[in-house]
Structures are given as C-alpha cells and as structure tokens.
Amino acid sequence: MKKFLSYLLLMSVFVFFVSACSDDDNSIDIPEPEENLTNQLRADAGNGEVTLEWKMLPGADTYNIYYMEDDGSVEQPTSADLKNNGTKIDGVTEDIISAPYTVTGLENGKMYWFALSAKAFGEIESDLTKAIYSIPLADPPLPAPENVRANAGDEEATVTWDLVTGAAGYKVYYFTSFEMYGESPKITGNSYTFTRLKNGQDYIFWMEALDGDDNTRTGDSSTSFVYPATPSISPPPAAPTNPAITDQNNGDIIVDWDTVTGATSYRIYIARAKGVTQLTGQATIIGTPDAAPKQAAETNLTNGTYYIVVTALNANGESADSREVSITITDNP
C-alpha cells in the first residue's frame, strides 16, 4: 500500500491554479502535461481562511496537510521547505479522511502555499503533492465550479458543471499540448461544447467562474479540477444525469438516475471520501437496465458518509462520471 500511495503522489501532478488574486492582465496560465488525473489539489481563498479540496486516492485512509506563508520570493516551495518550515495538520489525529478541509487563522492579503500527502493506516505518509498557493481576502473570490465533467462526442466534447452562486459567467479551457490549447468565450450557462476536435486525441478540460468585473481577475475563482475526454467517431454514451439517492434503510440505499440513450448497462461507483471517480471507487455493475428511471440497490453499508457517481456503458465504452451525490448512514453500526 505504501508503494502504491507513493507512486500516485510522485506522478506529475496537474496543478493548474489561477489565483483569485493574480495580476490583473487577463492572462491565463498554461498547465503542465499531467499523467495522473486522480491526484488533484485545489485551494479556494476565503476571509482569513483557505478551503482545500482534493480528489480521493485509492488506499488512502487519511491525509496530511502542510502549509506555509510565502517568504517573499513568490516561488513554489519544495517538499523539504514545507516539511521543515511549514505547519503540518496531521490527519491521523485530526481525522481528515475526506475533502474539504478549511485552514483558518490566516492573514488576509498574504500568500500561502499548500500541499497534501496521503497515508494508509500502519504505513508512513506518501510524498507531498506539488505546492499550490492562495491568498485570503476580506472580500473573497468566487469558489471554483464543482462536478466538472467532459462528455466525448464525434470531433467534439461537451463540458458540464454545477453553477456557482454569484458568478456572472464562466470560461472553459482544454489542453493537449502548447499547440493544441483552446478556450471558450465567456458563457453564462452550465454547459459548453468544443467542436472541431481531433478524434482519438486525449484532451483535458477545466474551467473557472467569473465575477462581474471583466477588467480584473480579483474576484474570479481558482480553476476547477480537470477532467479528461477523448473524442471518437463512435463515442460512449453520455454521462447519467440527475443521480439521486431516493431511499435508505439499515444500510440499504436506492440510487436513481435518468435513462441514458444507447446505454446497455450502468456502473455505480461508491467510496467513503469525496471526489470519487471511476478510477477510484468500488464498482457495482447494473446490467440489462429496466425502463426509466433506472434504480439499483447498494446493500449493507455501515454507518458513515458515502459518495457516489454513476456511469453508462455500451459497446463503444464507458461514459464520463455523473455528478457526485452523497448520503450519511446512521442506522447500521
């Protein structure tokens, strides 16, 4: 387990992070190519605090958080800097088993760096993620959009997300290389389709929420987590919509979602930590689907909070994840 966790956190981490307090030049940072979409860390600035979000890592029982004030160089600190000079929030004693986690007691207007490690019970902690920064403000920026998904199509991909309260608009981006990078215009809905993409090419997509001031980026959110998609002449089904947990009793739950055109089966992915994906959750296969709405039972869940996504499948492959839903079981010790 130790080697597995270390491997995940040693991979090139995608840390595409535009601070809500970056220079007001409307520029956009270009992400580094990344090889592991599981390990992602985000830092949303607040008033005297920063809320950290991350994708769950398989096998991790808890996480440790390291943070430190910038030394004035505005340079990304190394893992050694954070461990030797930073503050550690120990997940073993603080019971940090899932995102989000809010670091409080910070000074507004100062830059802070954050990194994360994972730990399995009885093992040493993994290596740290790359450090990302955030600057708390008395009037904090928008939070980053949640549940960002990318559904592949034929020479296109449709990105969806949850609307952000207070946002005046959104921008969506994709990246494969410095020669294949694109962005949407400012949009106001919660869906955008990129067209004229290359079939068979792997793309990563991300986005940010925009405030009402187009001249600065001060109030804009940090960037969302990234999501991959590969356009194809024969794309998989679309992701299931409107997932919900419609009933629960003594550890038995019913998961419900809308029918997906062309789907021949579905999978439910479930985990005890926020940020579950088809790469990290425990799967239940729902074959030969009945008439809509689709329903499926998950049984014998013991007390605790569970996070769930659903995917649709056919001969062309597996869809993107649905948006995440959660339930807390309290009647099955």
Answer yes or no: is 29 within a domain: yes
For the stretch 115-156, pLDDT in tens is 999 888 888 888 898 899 999 999 999 999 999 999 999 999
* pLDDT score of 273 more than 90: no
Supply the pLDDT for residue 173.
96
Answer yes or no: is 143 within a domain: no
Mean pLDDT of 200-219: 91
* pLDDT score of 261 more than 80: yes
CATH of the domain at 74: 2.60.40.10
Answer yes or no: is 177 within a domain: yes
* 81 in the same domain as 10: yes
* 73 in the same domain as 7: yes
- Burial bucket for residue 66 (CB in 10 Å: 0-12, 13-18, 19+): buried
Mean pLDDT of 278-289: 80
Report how far residue 71's alpha carbon sits from residue 69's, in angstroms, rounded to the nearest whole number. 6
* Mean pLDDT (the chain, rounded): 84
Maximum mean pLDDT: which of 71-75, 130-134, 153-157, 266-270: 153-157
Report how far residue 147's alpha carbon sits from residue 170's, in angstroms, rounded to the nearest whole number. 14
Point out the domain boundary residue: 169, 196, 229: 229
* Under 8 Å between Cβ of 274 and 308: no
For the stretch 16-55, pLDDT in tens is 332 223 333 333 333 343 333 445 899 999 999 999 999 8
pLDDT category of residue 288 using cuts at 50, 70 and 90: low
* 160 in the same domain as 212: yes
Point out the domain boundary residue: 176, 195, 229: 229
* pLDDT score of 176 more than 80: yes
Report how far residue 279's alpha carbon sits from residue 111's, in angstroms, rounded to the nearest whole number. 33
Answer yes or no: is 239 within a domain: no
Measured CA distances, 75 to 44, 85, 112, 229, 294 (Å): 19, 15, 11, 32, 50
* 200 in the same domain as 167: yes
Mean pLDDT of 4-12: 30
Report how far residue 134's alpha carbon sits from residue 70's, in angstroms, rounded to the nearest whole number. 10
Answer yes or no: is 235 within a domain: no
pLDDT category of residue 180 using cuts at 50, 70 and 90: confident
Answer yes or no: is 236 within a domain: no
* 178 in the same domain as 119: no
* 129 in the same domain as 65: yes
* 32 in the same domain as 104: yes
Mean pLDDT of 147-169: 97
* 86 in the same domain as 191: no
Supply the pLDDT for residue 18.
29
pLDDT category of residue 169 using cuts at 50, 70 and 90: very high
Supply the pLDDT for residue 218.
85
Point out the domain boundary residue: 101, 134, 167: 134
pTM, to two decimals: 0.83
* 253 in the same domain as 192: no
Supply the pLDDT for residue 285.
81
Residue 10 CA to its chain's centroid (Å): 18
Q: How much of the chain exceeds pLDDT 70, in percent?
A: 84
* Under 8 Å between Cβ of 38 and 94: no
* 201 in the same domain as 320: no
* 173 in the same domain as 296: no
* Under 8 Å between Cβ of 282 and 322: no
Main-chain dihedrals φ then ψ at residue 12, nearest 5 degrees: -60, 115
* Under 8 Å between Cβ of 109 and 136: yes
Supply the pLDDT for residue 248.
80
Answer yes or no: is 252 within a domain: yes
- Considering its fold, how many domains does the chain have in total? 3
* pLDDT score of 219 more than 60: yes
* 129 in the same domain as 154: no
Supply the pLDDT for residue 297.
66
Between residues 116 and 7, the one the model is more confident about: 116
Answer yes or no: is 31 within a domain: yes
Range of the domain at 111: 2-134
Measured CA distances, 130 to 18, 75, 201 (Å): 15, 12, 27
